[in-house]
Amino acid sequence: MQLGRVLGSVVATEKAPGLEGIRFLIVQPLDKGSRPEGETLVAADAVSMAGPGELVYFVASREAAEALPERFVPVDHAIVGIVDDVHVEEEE
């Protein structure tokens, strides 16, 4: 799982079967210090509660589909939790 920051949402009316009712959010992946790292992506919101500005963590690939109520849906990233706090030990 990786950390990410929700930047916005994506609305699509015409979707592949199995994606009905799923919210899609634009996510900026972050490094462990919560700094942006890599390109933004679109992730399904498996907690149905994440919103813009929030720090979240997400899964990729096959596990993303596993996070949703219906399995084997065409999804490659899914938000599985909202982060309250990250404790990282200071680097020596």
Instruction: Return residues touching another protein (CB under 8 A).
Output: 1-3, 31-32, 46-47, 49, 57, 59, 61-64, 66-67, 71, 78, 80-89
Q: Distance between CA 25 and CA 74 in Å, rounded?
A: 15
- Least spacing, CB of residue 69 vs another protein, in Å: 10
Contact 24, 45 (CB under 8 A): yes
Give the number of residues written for the chain: 92
- Which residue, 20 or 92, has its beta carbon nearer to another protein? 92
- Which residue, 14 or 51, has its beta carbon nearer to another protein? 51
Query: Look-up: residue for tokens 């490094």?
Result: 31
- Least spacing, CB of residue 68 vs another protein, in Å: 8
- Least spacing, CB of residue 15 vs another protein, in Å: 20
- Which residue, 14 or 29, has its beta carbon nearer to another protein? 29
Half-sphere exposure of 22 (CA within 13 A, CB side): 27
Q: Distance between CA 24 and CA 79 in Å, rounded?
A: 9
Strands 41-45 and 77-82, bridge-based pairing: parallel
- Least spacing, CB of residue 24 vs another protein, in Å: 16
